[in-house]
Amino acid sequence: MSLAQVLEWKYGSKPGMQTRENLDTGEMEIFDWPSKLGSEPTAAQIKKWTAEFDALPTPENELTKAADAATSIAELKTVLKDVIKAL
């Protein structure tokens, strides 16, 4: 997961929000930040959001687990309905 993914997860896709690699450090950094979003996030905020983002289960993994556990078509339909509601 990248800095861009974390920012998009937190703010959505916003025009003018850009990241780039700092050539001196090799780290990703915020290159352009729209003023309408308020102040640029701090390193501490980004670190916290990255941990939160990393802790989220991926929908594909949850669906795979649910499908593997279903033993009949009726159970699979119920599981899929629950997954869709959760999204």
Q: What is the pLDDT of residues 47-81, one digit of tens each?
A: 999 999 999 877 666 667 776 666 667 777 888 89
Check residue 67 and give its pLDDT.
Answer: 67
Instruction: Please choose, from the candidates 47, 36, 35, the residue with its C-alpha nearest in 3D space to the C-alpha of residue 7.
Output: 47
If asked whether residues 9 and 48 sit together in one domain, one would say yes
Q: List strand residue ranges (DSSP E) for the chain, in order.
A: 18-21, 28-32
**Eight-state DSSP code of residue 72:** S
DSSP string, 39-61: SPPPHHHHHHHHHHHHHSPPHHH
* Whether residue 35 sits in one domain with residue 9: yes
The parent domain of residue 32 ranges over 3-55
Cα separation, 6 vs 47, in Å, equals 10
64 lies in the same domain as 48? no
Does residue 64 sit in the same domain as residue 50?
no
Q: What percent of the chain has pLDDT over 70?
A: 85
